[in-house]
C-alpha cells in the first residue's frame, strides 16, 4: 500500500493507503532546521514556521484557522534541529481543502512587516516560557555545551539577541533559498487516499516550484565532556547527564532503542525503579535518545533537592557502570524488546504516526521502512549487541553534566561522573 513518486521538479511524494480508516494525515517536510542556521540567524527557521500561519495572498490568519476548524481538522507545524514540517489531519472527504491550505501557506505567505514584529514578541514570550520551565530549559543548556561551537548545540527557538536581529528581508531571503527548494521537500500522506489523486494535487501546487540545487552539507560536531553549573533560586536542582548517542542510521540503532528503554524509558526501567521507587530521591527521572543524521545524544534527566544531588548522580552513574560491566540478563532484555514491539504496533494505529514514519524513512534512509522490518530489527537484537554499544557510548571522555538550581561547582566533582 506504499507508493513513492518524485515529481519533475524534484519534490518527493510518499503515500501509504490505509483502507479501513476515514481520515488522512498530510505532512510537508522541508530539510531545514536549526542546525542549518548560522550563528547570527539562530532561530530563523522557527520564526518562519510561525509566520507561515499569519496570512497568505488569499487568506488571513483567521481564515486559515476557520477553514480547518470548520471541517473538524487539525493544522499545525513544528521545527526541529534537522527539518521543519507542516501537517494537517482531516476526514478523507476534506483532503482537497487540507492540501490547498498547506500549499497556500508554503507558497503564498505574505510575511508582512507588521506581522513579523508582532510575532517577534510572541517568540520572546516562548523563550521566556522555556526559561521558566527548568526541566525543559536544562536540556537546551546541556546541548549548548555538549555540542558547543556547532549549530547543532543551538536552541531551536534562538535567543533574544538573534531574534531581535532577524529582519523581514532576511526572513524572505532565507525562506526562498531553503524552503522553496524541491530537492529539500518531502510530502508524506497516510490514510484513506488515492495515490494518483495525491500526485495530481501536489503536482499542481508544489510541483510548480522551479527546480533548484541547494542540498544540505553537514558538519558533524564532536561531543564535549565537562560539568556546567547554572545557579538559580529554584526548589529543585535539575540535572542532565549525557553521553555520545547514535545517529538515525546507526547499525546498532535498534540496540540503542532497547538500551534507552531499559535504562530510563519507562516506569519499569532501571533508573526509575532505583532512584524514584527504591530511594525516593526524584519525582521525575528518565532517559531519552536524540538522534540526528550523523550523530546523537543519550541523555538522562532527573529533578531532585539540593541535598540529594550527589546521591542521585552516584545512583545514575552506578546504573550505567553496571550495564557497561555486563549486568544485563537475557530475560530483562527480552521483556524490554516486547514492550518496544507493542509500542510500535500501537503507534501503527494512528495515521499521524504512519505519516511521520513515512517521512522519516524517506528523510534518513531514502526508502519506506515497513513496520515488519522494525519489529524484526528489534527481535534480532542480542544482549551482546547492547553490550557492544555500551562500550562504544559509555566512555568517560564523552560524559557531560549540566545542573540548574541551588547548586555550586564545588558540589559536583568530576569524579562523580567517572565510570
User: Which active-site residues does the annotation give?
Assistant: 49
- List the one residue out of 191, 226, 237 whose CA is nearest residue 91: 191
Cell of residue 44, nine digits: 530563523
Cell of residue 342, nine digits: 507493542
- List the one residue out of 243, 303, 227, 245 whose CA is nearest residue 271: 303
Q: How many residues are given for the chain?
A: 419
Give the side-chain half-sphere CA count within 13 A for 7.
29
Q: Which long-range contacts (CB under 8 A, 24 or more apart) does 177-181 make?
A: 177/214, 178/30, 178/32, 178/36, 178/214, 179/30, 179/32, 179/48, 179/84, 179/106, 180/107, 180/209, 180/210, 180/212, 181/30, 181/209, 181/212, 181/214
| CA distance linking residue 377 with residue 379, whole number of Å | 5
Amino acid at each position: 500500500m506504499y507508493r513513492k513518486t518524485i515529481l519533475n521538479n524534484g519534490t518527493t511524494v510518499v503515500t501509504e493507503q490505509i483502507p479501513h480508516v476515514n481520515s488522512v494525515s498530510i505532512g510537508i517536510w522541508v530539510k531545514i532546521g536549526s542546525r542549518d542556521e548560522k550563528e547570527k540567524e539562530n532561530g530563523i527557521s522557527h520564526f518562519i514556521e510561525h509566520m507561515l500561519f499569519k496570512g497568505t495572498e488569499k487568506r488571513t490568519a483567521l481564515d486559515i484557522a476557520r477553514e480547518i476548524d470548520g471541517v473538524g481538522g487539525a493544522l499545525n507545524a513544528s521545527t526541529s534541529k534537522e527539518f521543519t514540517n507542516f501537517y494537517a489531519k482531516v476526514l478523507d472527504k476534506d483532503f482537497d481543502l487540507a492540501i490547498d491550505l498547506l500549499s497556500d501557506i508554503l507558497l503564498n505567505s505574505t510575511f508582512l512587516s507588521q506581522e513579523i514584529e508582532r510575532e517577534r514578541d510572541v517568540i520572546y514570550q516562548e523563550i521566556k516560557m522555556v526559561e521558566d520551565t527548568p526541566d525543559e530549559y536544562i536540556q537546551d543548556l546541556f546541548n549548548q555545551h555538549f555540542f558547543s561551537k556547532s549549530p547543532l548545540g543551538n536552541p531551536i527557538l534562538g535567543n533574544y539577541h538573534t531574534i531581535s536581529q532577524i529582519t523581514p528581508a532576511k526572513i524572505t531571503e532565507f525562506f526562498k533559498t531553503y524552503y522553496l527548494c524541491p530537492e529539500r521537500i518531502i510530502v508524506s500522506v497516510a490514510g484513506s487516499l488515492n495515490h494518483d489523486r495525491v500526485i495530481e494535487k501536489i503536482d499542481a501546487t508544489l510541483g510548480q516550484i522551479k527546480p533548484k540545487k541547494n542540498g544540505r552539507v553537514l558538519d558533524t560536531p564532536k561531543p564535549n565532556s565537562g560539568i556546567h553549573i547554572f545557579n538559580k533560586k529554584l526548589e529543585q536542582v535539575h540535572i542532565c547527564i549525557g553521553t555520545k548517542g547514535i545517529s538515525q542510521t546507526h547499525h546498532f540503532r535498534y540496540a540503542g532503542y532497547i538500551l534507552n528503554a531499559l535504562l530510563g524509558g519507562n516506569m519499569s526501567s532501571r533508573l526509575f525503579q532505583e532512584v524514584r521507587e527504591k530511594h525516593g530521591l526524584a519525582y521525575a527521572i528518565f532517559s531519552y535518545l536524540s538522534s540526528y543524521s550523523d550523530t546523537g545524544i543519550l541523555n538522562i534527566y532527573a529533578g531532585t533537592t539540593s541535598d540529594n544531588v550527589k546521591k542521585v548522580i552516584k545512583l545514575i552513574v552506578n546504573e550505567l557502570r553496571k550495564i557497561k560491566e555486563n549486568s544485563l540478563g537475557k530475560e530483562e532484555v527480552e521483556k524490554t524488546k516486547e514492550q518496544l514491539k507493542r509500542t510500535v504496533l500501537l503507534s501503527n494505529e494512528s495515521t499521524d504516526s504512519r505519516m511521520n514514519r513515512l517521512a522519516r524513512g524517506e528523510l534518513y534512509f531514502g526508502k519506506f521502512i515497513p513496520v515488519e522490518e522494525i519489529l524484526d530489527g528489534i527481535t534480532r537484537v542480542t544482549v551482546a549487541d547492547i553490550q557492544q554499544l555500551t562500550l562504544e557510548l559509555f566512555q568517560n571522555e564523552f560524559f557531560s553534566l549540566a545542573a540548574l538550581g541551588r547548586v555550586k561547582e564545588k558540589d559536583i566533582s568530576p569524579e562523580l561522573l567517572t565510570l
